[in-house]
Chains A and B, each alone.
Chain A
Amino acid sequence: MPNDDRLTPPVWPEGRTLPPGGAFSTIGRRNRKIEGLAKVTGRAMYADDLTLPRMLHGKLKRSIHAHARIRSIDASEALEMPGVHAVITGRDLPTRYGIIPWTEDEQALCENKVGYVGDAIAAVAADSELIAEEALKRIRVDYEVLPAVADIDTAFAHPEWKVNETSKDGNISKQVFLEFGDVERALAASDATVECEYWYEGSTHTPIEPHCCLAEFDATGFLTVWSSTQVAHYLHRDLAKVLGLPTQRVRVIQPVVGGAFGGKSESFSLEFCASKLSMITGRPVKILYTREEVFYAHRGRHPMRLRYRTGVRRDGTLTGVDAKIAIDGGAYSSFGLVTTYYSGQLLTAPYDLGTYRFDSTRVFTNKPCCGPKRGHGSVQPRFAFECQLDKLAEKIGMDPIELRRRNTMRANSRTVNGMRVTSNGFPQCLDAVERCSGWGEKFRRMPYGRGVGVAGSMYISGTNYCIYPNEMPQSAVQLKLDRSGRATVFCGISDIGQGAESVLAYIVCEELGLELRDVRVVAADTDLTPVDLGSYSSRETFMCGNACLDAARKLRREIAATLAGAWGCETSQVTLAGGVACSTRDPEREHMSVKEAFQRTEARVGTLGSVGWYQSPKLGGDYRGGTIGASPAYSFTAHVAEVECDVETGFVEVKKIWIAHDCGRALNPVSVEGQMEGSAYMGFAEALMEAQVFKPAATHHGPGLHHGPSLLDYRIPTSLDTPELESLIIESVDPEGPYGAKEAGEGPLHPSVPAIANAIYDALGIRCDRLPFDPPAVLRLLRAGDARARWQAARSQAARGEPARAGRSC
């Protein structure tokens, strides 16, 4: 057990949220990213840019059936092909793994049964990709086809068609039921209630870089793996376990990663197979997924069917929320245990819900496995709930922004499910989008076909606990100062494009007065860097940032003591900025380069190095599952979306989204805006365009084929589709974040979808409760009833400022 000293973060006289020298020199500036020029000149090295001498190419044989038993595999003909060096099957990699230690239900290559079209069965290593591909065709698999579970209803109806052999109860993956307060009584005592069902369609991450892995097992029995992963540490553990190697004889390196969004946050077949093939052949092996394989690797947004009952008093106070959620998980568990909790646990801010109950069930189906996509598990319920709020506001005749304002929880309070909320800039977010969008002149005031909608949300700044229980830090930094005037930060941090490595460099510059070009960050290399758990749950800035701040401040203290001694001043009078050290009382005379300050300090105390680590305080509710959803800080977001709809075609054009996001403190506003815009774009895409869906059986194929596994058929927005996006940064300065920073990478996605749905209602008088809101769906809704009359009623009601008449609200 760690002692209390270790678990207590250092207390700094200047405070964690403030700069050491009184004013920020680097933090908060619109700085470049440290790897920016490498990326724009084509020099950044991604996994597929790496080549080793004698390298072989690997390919995976994949199932053509959604659900089948494997009777036998015959690879003899493939093995006889010239240029083929090895073929492996499930027997070669028998150990099961899974990102959550309690649900290890995957095998790198299926041994007995396949769970979806595209499940991997065998792997080939050959001289070229073309030969490997040809060899795959010559591997014969004898299948016994089983009935396939295509959707949630079939999963419940046919528990005997067992998709996942590890399941204890039919096709149930995970069930969570939690209740906080007496929801039934609260709803019964409400002045108005709304009950509706929603459908959130699945979608996938679609990073532009396909998954790629290069593995080399050397003559000493040491395995090095370069992989496009966002969780090098977890991959390190999984590789050792599945390959039967001691952990200390495996090294995982994350090269530059070309986008991830949650889609590279667990181990995939290619990493185990490239490694095993390298162990067998004694040569390096690279596997690069095709774009089609990326769609089947998936781990994206879970489709969810959500039923909400929500109550409100006439004055706008929320009384209770009752949620019943069914989750389509695909064939394996992945993060599913967490997803199921998150679908309920992450709804409880920024509003006081009064009372709350959720009943979530994730089921297994014969489709590629779902997992964490940006805003893991909480984007779907947020969509449903924010639409509920819009309907409730109309019912009681209240402006939807005002309704949200009235229910916003205070800073430094607790949610209904026991989560600690510290800083909260949500009220400022609402103010900002209301003001900048011109809400007052637009809402219920624009002509038919045009409208605005609002929505809010919150998200975690890192999950409070590691995926495998342990008492070690979640993030750590080793910092080395060199007498040449350079600093090198060693950290397991995973930069997937969000600028995580640069955040560490900004912090070191701020603390030690260096210029950005004099800081090197060595990241995500399990041999060189101390552990960080990886880029998921929006944890990097908060957790690695804090670790880095402590490491840098420890060295700054030494340097300040050296200079104070030399100049005979107080340490608080020492300033380090822009490569120069000086005293504040006589900077003309008392100054030197930071490089010289490093040298003098090294002479005084010895070689300069320090460590810093972050471990979150024990947080969460005192009940089973109460730690899931706990985070040291929460970010808050509000969006207003403006739409223009074509009544003839059902086409919805999103004109603009105003995004206000409380990120605590923006360490680099450029990067924060980039995350806000990228998030809103991705939410917009889910709302209107994207659908990760699968075909039923047809004449020439069985069930479970992806509807269109290409970037042409799975439509992600182009530069012409994407709406205008305006970022409004709100800084609440969190007491525990590094300089007060919180997350920005995932939170700003959440409100896009419901804000667009609510805007469509304002424009057309139809409620889009099912994603995506594509032209056929919008046309169907327009034709299903008298939309125009509902639209007219809503605006007349708003004009009179009175509650809606009783009637159907869905």
Chain B
Amino acid sequence: MSTSICRLRVNGESRECAVTPGTTLLEALRYGLGLTGSKQGCDKGDCGACTVVMDGAPVLSCISLALACEGREVVTIEGLAREGRPHPLQDAFDVTGGAQCGFCTPGILMSAWALLEREPRPTRREIAQALSGNLCRCTGYTKIFEAVELASRRMSEAAAAEGAR
């Protein structure tokens, strides 16, 4: 298979890497761009550990071809922190114990982030639905739900405080 240059927009930056037509977005991110935060748990779209957000929607990067993602806006786990500070969602996962082994965590965070961008105050049912494509084997999901709820609460409070000012 012939190698070509793939031009990607990742975490707000324009990046290039060499790919073949069969290279997945996950491979391009992990092995081409050094963004190893996105994980490979199954390599066939079953577990969700590779979830990234593309144009606002969670996408399984292990079954997306890198070349098909040219021109799209990709956000990975490395893109959530701002100015070196963890995103409130990341902080909430750390506080509540939402990450145990942490392997599913980047994918779960991206699904949760896409949810909160769309629906800032989701119900527990909506959270469970939004995360149903991300398998976690450690937590039993309880502390993950608590983390998303905590982040949602904190972000809404921060937004309200911002609005009041």
Contacts and interface: CB of A to CB of B under 8 A. Distances in A.
A680 B140 contact: yes
A711 B36 contact: no
Q: Is the contact region of chain B dominated by helix, strand, or loop, or is it mixed?
A: loop
A719 B103 contact: no
Size category of the binding interface on chain A: 35 or more
B99 A39 contact: yes
Interface in B75-94: 76-78, 80-81, 86, 90-91, 93-94
Contacts of A52: none
A39 B76 CA distance: 14
Given A40-B109, A722-B141, A674 B37 contact: no
Contact of B144 (A258, A716, A719): A719
Interface in B98-118: 98-106, 109
A793 interface: no
A807 interface: no
A290 interface: yes
Contact of B40 (A35, A48, A257, A720): A48
Nearest to A718: B132
A661 to B, nearest CB: 13
A261 interface: yes
Contacts, number: 167
Contacts of B30: 49
A678 B43 contact: no
Given A39-B99, A208-B103, A678 B128 contact: no
Given A32-B95, A40-B90, A710-B42, A719 B128 contact: yes
Interface stretch (A309-317, A491-499, A762-770): A491-499
Contacts of A46: 39, 103
Nearest to A674: B97
A42 B141 contact: no
B129 interface: yes
A710 B44 contact: yes
B40 A259 contact: no
B7 interface: no
A674 B136 contact: no
A42 B77 contact: yes
23 contacts: A37-B91, A39-B94, A40-B91, A41-B77, A41-B80, A42-B36, A42-B37, A48-B40, A208-B135, A209-B39, A258-B39, A261-B137, A288-B40, A497-B102, A670-B97, A670-B143, A674-B97, A677-B140, A680-B140, A716-B137, A718-B135, A720-B132, A725-B140
Interface of B: 30-31, 35-44, 46-47, 49, 76-78, 80-81, 86, 90-91, 93-106, 109, 127-129, 131-145
Nearest first, the 5 closest Cβ-Cβ pairs linking A and B are A42-B37, A258-B103, A497-B101, A681-B140, A39-B102
Given A37-B86, A41-B80, A209-B39, 20 more contacts: A33-B97, A40-B109, A42-B35, A42-B36, A42-B76, A42-B106, A51-B31, A258-B104, A259-B138, A291-B42, A497-B138, A671-B97, A674-B139, A680-B140, A682-B140, A719-B132, A719-B136, A719-B141, A722-B141, A724-B142
